Chains A and B, each alone.
Chain A
C-alpha cells in the first residue's frame, strides 16, 4: 500500500489537520514506511476467524435511567477558549 500525495492531503482534511505541501511530502514518506510495516499482516490467512474487539466476551452493562448530574457549566466553561451567555463560541457555522 502506497499513499499518493493527494491521498495524504485528503486524509489530513478528513482529520482536520492542516498540512503544508512540504509537510505532506515528508509525512507521505513516513506513512508509507508505516504501511510497509502493516502490510505484513495482510497476507496472513484469517478465514473463519472472528474479529476480536475486547479481551472478555462480555455484554454491555446498562445504566438505570435517572438524572445523576447537576449543572456544572460554570466549572466546565472555566476552561473554555470562548464562552458567552453560557454558550461555546465558534466561528460562524455556515449551513
Chain B
C-alpha cells in the first residue's frame, strides 16, 4: 500500500487506541459504582444512620457513631487547615516571585505527595504518644496536615486569577496590602476558595490510613474530642476484613455514603467553577 495509506491507517489506529483507553478506564469506574450502589442500597436503611453498632455476630445495628465521627474529625481538620492554608496561599500569591515563595511552594507540593500512612505515623508520635491517648483531636490533626497544602495551593491559584486591576485599584486608593487582599481580592476569589475547601474536605473524609493510629475507633457514640472516635472509613475497613455477612453489607452501605459525598462535592465544585469562569469572562 502507499505510504500515505499506511500513515492514515496508523493515525486511525492511534485515534482508536485513545478512544479505547477512555473506555478501558471508565470500565472499572462503572464496575465500582455499580457494585457500591447495588450492594450498598440493600443495607441502607434508617437504622444504618441512626443505630450504634451491635456486638460481634449480632445482626442489625448501624454506623451512626461513625458518621458523626467522620463529620467531627473532618471539621477539626478544616478548623486547623483553612486558616493556615488560606493565609499561606495569600502569601504565595502576593509575594510569589521570591525565592522564599518557591521554597514554600516546593514544601506544599512535597507535603501533598507524602503517603497518608507516613502522616499517620508522624501524627502518632506528635499527637498521641505525648498525651498517651488516642483521640479525635489527633485524627483531626493528621487530616489537617494533609489538607493544608491542598488549600494553600488552591487559594494561591485562585487569588492569581483575580484580575490585577482590582488589586492595583485598591492600592492606588491608598489601601494597605493587607486590606487590599482581605477586603478586595480575597472576597472576589472566595467562591473558588470555598469550592477548593469543599473538595479538600471530600478528599480527606475518605482517608483511612492516618486515622488507624490516631483517632483509632470507638464502639460508642462520643462528643468528647479527647477520646477515640469512630469514623466511617475505619469502620468500613474493620467490617470489610471481617467474616460476617451482616458487617459486609454495612461496609458496602458505608462505602455508598462515602461515594455519594464525594460525588455531590465534585458536582458542586464543577458547577461552581463553571459559574466562576463565566463571571470572570464577563467581568
Whether both chains belong to one complex is answered with: no
Contact surface of B with A, Cβ cutoff 8 Å: none
Contact surface of A with B, Cβ cutoff 8 Å: none
